[in-house]
């Protein structure tokens, strides 16, 4: 999705300069004239992925705004902008929680580099936090991506089930993220931080299933040169996740049923049973009721596992979660591949949202991974997903044949200022690109104001921030009496009396 930059600056010219630079690079831009307006926008839920914050503003200063942001728990990267680059100013801003700073006036290249670096650092920190939670078994339902109704139901059910040791059976198509839900159950329970052991029952050779799950003693069979604990004992005190549990052989299903009922296992070759304290979470993409009818799954084991069922929705049933998933995958693969992709363009998001995704979240993850590796632009485009969009990437030689450069450098500050000056109703630059005199600009501004407000001089004076007598004096000095008459001056107003 398009990243939104909140520009907080009391100078409208600076805000327009920042907007011109950022919008050329595909960012969305929001404005705030001071710190109070910025805080109100964020409190109302306004989008802001990164904040450009001027330090010197009337009312709530930049430093105070930054401290208030962090106090209220806003974690967006903040880049402070200042006209004074003293060490004390920079140190104070960094101590208050700023991610970077630059001194005005700054080149477009400096602005964009600072923003991309801040976004990259935020992504890196988020990825480190995710990996820490994953490694220590502390992933919770707050870490699950998705605000759709089906995912909200999964989160509510999972959080309730996590508070007890009730066996959970997670059902759903392949690739929907059943293991992620299982990890969230573990991380939200009292067993968080204890072992989380995942076993893909369909990937274990049939002759090794018993040994891998329950363990074996040394010499219990040919090749058993050492004692092996097995997955149940590895997960002791924590959670054992049995993925694709419907693939287990029938004889192993009998031993699994006993382990669940008695909380003890019989390792291969052992003389006595071993007590274990394990919470069982299982998952399947098969219809176990049909497998029971076909004699491939034990009915008593099914009832033991299916005490608390959770149905993981297919991705096509929660399309509104796709943009958030894409953003999360972009952040992760940026870190892994050392890329600086900002996100996906609106056209790309629309294309991905409209696809059915038979492989669900796993297919989306792999598609984004490929796109990140191949992407050259700041935003992923539809042609980065050719198998989904049906649009092939344009050959590089076509650009050369047309005489177009492969990279268009961003405009300089002077170029942007000149462009703004040309488009402004009151010209700032003359025909040779030099600044016009203040008297000339003032004359044009007064004339424009008289035309806009149809000669209502009280309103003109109020808008220009001057007294009416001063305004009439300037009209006379600038020779604008004809303009005033043609626009119809205020009825009953005597210009001579006002000036006197």
CB neighbour class for 91 (10 Å; exposed up to 12, middle 13-18, buried from 19): exposed
Q: How many CB atoms lie within 10 A of CB 25?
A: 18
Where are the domains positioned within the chain? 4-132, 141-313, 316-392, 424-499
pLDDT at position 380: 93
Strands in 9-146 per DSSP E: 28-32, 50-54, 78-82, 100-103
Only one residue has tokens 């990267």, namely 77
Contact 326, 362 (CB under 8 A): no
CB neighbour class for 433 (10 Å; exposed up to 12, middle 13-18, buried from 19): exposed
For strand 264-265 and strand 274-275, is the pairing parallel, antiparallel, or unpaired? antiparallel
CA distance 63 to 92: 8
Which of 477, 489, 487 lies closest to 440 in space, CA to CA?
A: 477
Provide block-wise average pLDDT over 10 residues at a time, the chain (500 residues).
86 87 88 90 88 87 87 88 74 83 83 86 82 90 94 96 94 96 96 95 91 88 84 96 95 94 90 92 96 95 96 96 94 89 91 95 96 89 91 63 48 54 62 75 85 82 87 86 69 45
Q: How many CB atoms lie within 10 A of CB 161?
A: 20
Domains 4-132 and 141-313 share a fold: yes
Taking the domain 4-132, which CATH number applies?
Answer: 3.40.50.2300
- CA 222, 228, 231, 237: dihedral to nearest 10 degrees? 160
Distances (CA, A) of 360 to 61, 150, 353: 48, 14, 12
Please identify, in words, the CATH class of the domain defined by 316-392: mainly alpha
- Beta partners for 216? 228, 268
Work out whether the CA dihedral 312, 236, 229, 288 comes out positive or negative.
negative
Which residues, in sequence order, are CB contacts of 343 under 8 Å at separation 6+?
1, 2, 3, 326, 327, 330, 379, 380
CA distance 427 to 157: 64
Query: Within 13 Å of residue 293, how many CA atoms lie on the same side as its CB?
Result: 4
pLDDT at position 56: 83
CB neighbour class for 434 (10 Å; exposed up to 12, middle 13-18, buried from 19): exposed
Which of 185, 94, 77 lies closest to 139 in space, CA to CA?
A: 185
DSSP letter (8 states) at residue 489: P
Taking the domain 141-313, which CATH number applies?
Answer: 3.40.50.300
CA distance 249 to 258: 15
pLDDT at position 169: 97
pLDDT at position 436: 77
CA distance 91 to 87: 6
CA angle 240, 242, 248 (to 5 degrees): 135
DSSP letter (8 states) at residue 437: P
Where b means 16+ CB within 10 Å and e means fewer, 32-70 reads bbbbebbbebbeeeeebbbbbbbbbbeebbbbebbebbe
Using DSSP, state whether 299 is helix, strand or coil: helix
CA angle 467, 471, 474 (to 5 degrees): 140
pLDDT at position 124: 80
DSSP string computed for 333-402: HHHHHT----EE-HHHHHHHHHS--TTHHHHHHHHHHHHHHH--SSEE-GGGSHHHH--PPPPHHHHHHT
CA distance 1 to 354: 15
pLDDT at position 500: 38
């Amino acid at each position: 999705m398009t990243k939104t930059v909140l520009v907080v600056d009391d100078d409208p010219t600076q805000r327009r300069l920042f907007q011109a630079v950022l919008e050329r690079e595909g960012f969305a831009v929001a404005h705030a004239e001071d710190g109070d307006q910025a805080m109100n926008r964020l409190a109302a839920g306004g989008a802001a992925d990164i904040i450009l914050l001027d330090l010197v503003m009337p009312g709530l200063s930049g430093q105070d705004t930054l401290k208030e942001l962090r106090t209220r728990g806003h974690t967006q990267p903040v880049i402070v902008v200042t006209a004074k680059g003293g060490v004390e100013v920079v140190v104070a801003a960094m101590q208050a929680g700023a991610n970077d700073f630059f001194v005005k006036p700054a080149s477009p290249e400096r602005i964009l580099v600072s923003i991309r670096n801040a976004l990259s650092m935020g992504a890196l920190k988020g990825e480190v936090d995710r990996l820490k939670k994953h490694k220590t078994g502390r992933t919770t339902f707050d870490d699950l991506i998705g605000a759709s109704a089906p995912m909200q139901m999964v989160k509510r059910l999972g959080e309730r089930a996590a508070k007890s040791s009730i066996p959970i059976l997670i059902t759903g198509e392949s690739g929907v993220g059943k293991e992620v839900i299982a990890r969230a159950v573990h991380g939200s329970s009292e067993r968080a931080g204890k072992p989380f052991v995942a076993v893909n029952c369909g990937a274990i050779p049939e002759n090794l299933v018993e040994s891998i799950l329950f363990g074996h003693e040394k010499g219990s069979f040919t090749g058993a040169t050492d004692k092996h604990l097995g997955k149940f004992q590895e997960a002791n005190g924590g959670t054992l996740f049995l993925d694709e549990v419907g693939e287990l052989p029938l004889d192993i299903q009998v031993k699994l049923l006993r382990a669940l009922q008695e909380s003890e296992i019989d390792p291969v070759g052992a003389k006595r049973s071993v007590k274990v304290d394990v919470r069982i979470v299982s998952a399947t993409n098969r219809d176990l009721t049909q497998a029971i009818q076909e004699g491939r799954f034990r009915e008593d084991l099914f009832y033991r596992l299916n005490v608390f069922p959770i149905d993981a929705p297919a991705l096509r049933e929660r399309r509104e979660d796709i943009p958030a998933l894409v953003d999360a995958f972009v952040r992760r693969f940026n870190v892994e591949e050392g890329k600086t992709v900002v996100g996906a363009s609106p056209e790309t998001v629309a294309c991905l949202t409209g696809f059915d995704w038979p492989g669900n979240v796993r297919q989306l993850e792999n598609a984004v991974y490929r796109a990140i590796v191949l992407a050259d632009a700041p935003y992923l485009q539809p042609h980065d997903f050719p198998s989904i969009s049906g649009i092939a990437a344009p050959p590089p030689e076509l650009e050369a044949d047309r005489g177009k450069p492969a990279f268009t450098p961003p405009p300089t500050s002077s170029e942007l200022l000149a462009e703004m000056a040309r488009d402004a109703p009151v010209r700032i630059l003359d025909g040779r690109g030099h600044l016009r005199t203040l008297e000339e600009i003032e004359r044009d501004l007064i004339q424009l104001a008289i035309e806009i407000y149809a000669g209502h001089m009280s309103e003109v004076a109020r808008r220009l921030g001057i007294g009416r007598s001063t305004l009439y004096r300037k009209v006379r000095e600038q020779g604008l009496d004809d303009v005033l008459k043609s626009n119809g001056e205020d009825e009953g107003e005597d210009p001579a009396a006002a000036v006197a």
